[in-house]
Amino acid sequence: MSSDLARYGLSAPVNVTWEITLKCNLKCLHCLSDAGKAMPEELDFGQCRLLIEQLAAIKVFQVNIGGGEPFMREDFVDLLDLAHRNQLVTCVSTNGLLVDDSLAKHLARLEMLYLQVSLDGATAEVNDAIRGEGTYHKILRAADALARHGVRFSLNTVLTRINYPQLEELRKLAAGYGADLRVSRFRPSGRGKSSKVELGPDKEQLESFAVWLEENQFVRTGDSFFCLTSENRRRKGLDMCGAAKMTCCVSPSGDVYPCAFLQEPAFLAGNIRRRHIKDIWDHAPVLDLLRRLDVKACETCSRFEHCRGGCPAMAFHTYNDISMPDPECLMNLRALSSGDSPKGFPLS
Amino acid sequence: MEYWYRLAKGTSVREESFGLLFYTRTGPRLYFLPSGKLLRCDFFQSDMTLAQWLQTMPDPVSSVRARSLSAALGELKNKGVIVEF
């Protein structure tokens, strides 16, 4: 039983990333969506309901909801209930600022909800440098409320140059709440484009992180680090990019993209206001392109079966070419460390 | 092959070209069952054992294929994806 069977695409996504609003009460330096103000044409409740019904009809299993800050939408709790009534499991990524006792009490009753609370440092100094002044204590207050009411959640940290030294403390902090730590990959999209130099982890950190991950099997990664993971961890998740094969992304206005990190005009697959998502999934040329993507430079690599070239979004944002190797794959990092030429991509 | 199976709590399943795709909320995790067209989702709501189900196929199913399918279902049971009843 293997995800090889999904390599050329499934009948429908396994999960859909849905950026339900661009509205956000924070301005995090690494925000992949460049969130802040709501988009002018965000889906209204009726259009959201239609999308939920479409996803349920094609048997999508899970919807990963982010933004923006989802709880900034006044109808968000109703939309969550609607998704669950349609048998969709939801995984909601929140900055926690609107989570109080009343909301935590409600969320505790939702069996089909997973919650991820973003925290980007184990101290106020580091977290607030990324997420904004005063956020550290507000996030921990949210975590307190969630734990008090028995809501299952994970703390989600985007790995950066400045929080890398705090990973162990972050893991312990999460454990203190009975929560998992989930570490996500910094990607140079959205505001991450301009903060890459300041926040992007360096190659020594990424290499050490690969070792740390192997030693910390219970730390979650959402498979964003599959280009770094060991054989042991590989069994826990994907060994290829899932974009257009197992997942896709819906923007606040209903645009469909292969993944949240490829929300660029060149990768627009369609809009759910005009076409059923099944039609887009089956027939959009750009999704087919992702399914047939060959990273030729990687085919002779000993780790090819582990990552199949890595994250196309990283290649796109680095080289403007999705067929290039992931610049942060383990083999290329090692080559750079030893002074050898990395495979298949320019050093300049 | 004399067992009746149901989906475990928190498991969903759908049909794919290769067979069945299971999703479990614990993890969450995916499980791929390359059963071709031999099994459908409604097998897990039926009152048939695997042997009885396979007898309803339009073409005979070889004993090797049937045993392989039975073993795969046993593996899914051991992983908590499906349950015997």
Cβ(A95)–Cβ(A118) under 8 Å?
A: yes
Confidence tier at A346 by pLDDT (50, 70, 90): very low
In this structure, what token pair is assigned to residue A282? Answer: 């089956």
Mapped onto helix, strand or coil, the DSSP state of residue B65 is helix
User: Does position B58 have pLDDT exceeding 80, yes or no?
Assistant: yes
Within 34-73 of B, beta carbons closer than 8 Å to A belong to 34, 72
Give residue A345's pLDDT.
Answer: 47
Q: How far is CA A187 from CA A131, A184, A257, A301, in A?
A: 16, 9, 16, 23
Distance CA(A314)–CA(A307), nearest Å, equals 13
- Interface contacts A/B by beta carbons within 8 Å: 37
CB atoms within 10 A of CB B72: 19
Tell me the percentage of chain B whose pLDDT exceeds 90: 91
Neighboring chain B residues of A112 at a CB cutoff of 8 Å: 25
In this structure, what token pair is assigned to residue A314? Answer: 């990283």
Neighboring chain A residues of B21 at a CB cutoff of 8 Å: 10, 14
Distance CA(A198)–CA(A192), nearest Å, equals 10
pLDDT, tens only, A32-66: 999 999 999 999 999 999 999 999 999 999 999 99
Neighboring chain A residues of B30 at a CB cutoff of 8 Å: 3, 14
Cβ(A116)–Cβ(A94) under 8 Å?
A: yes
Mapped onto helix, strand or coil, the DSSP state of residue A276 is coil
Look at A23-27, A143-147, A226-230, A261-265 and tell me which has the smallest mean pLDDT.
A226-230
Strands B5-7 and B82-84 come out as antiparallel
Compute the average pLDDT of residues B14-39: 94
In this structure, what token pair is assigned to residue A143? Answer: 């975590």
CB contact under 8 A, B32 and A112: no
- CA dihedral in degrees (B33, B39, B42, B44; nearest 10)? -60
Q: How far is CA A191 from CA A19, A22, A27, B22, in A?
A: 16, 13, 9, 37
Cis amide linkage into residue A222, ω under 30° from 0 = no
User: Does position A295 have pLDDT exceeding 60, yes or no?
Assistant: yes
Confidence tier at A238 by pLDDT (50, 70, 90): low
Phi, psi at residue A173, to the nearest 5°?
-60, -45
Q: Which residues of A29-41 are buried (b: 16+ CB within 10 A; e: fewer)?
A: bbbbbbbeebbee
- Nearest Cα of chain B lies from the Cα of A345 at a distance, in angstroms, of 33
Neighboring chain B residues of A10 at a CB cutoff of 8 Å: 16, 21
CB atoms within 10 A of CB A229: 23
User: Does position A235 have pLDDT exceeding 60, yes or no?
Assistant: no
Test mutation, A3, A7, A59, A112, chain B, max B CBs within 10 A: A59
User: Does position A343 have pLDDT exceeding 60, yes or no?
Assistant: no
Distance CA(A185)–CA(A30), nearest Å, equals 10
Handedness of CA A248, A99, A39, A87 (dihedral sign): positive
pTM of the model: 0.92
pLDDT, tens only, A130-173: 999 999 999 999 999 999 999 999 999 999 999 999 999 999 99
CB contact under 8 A, A12 and B14: yes
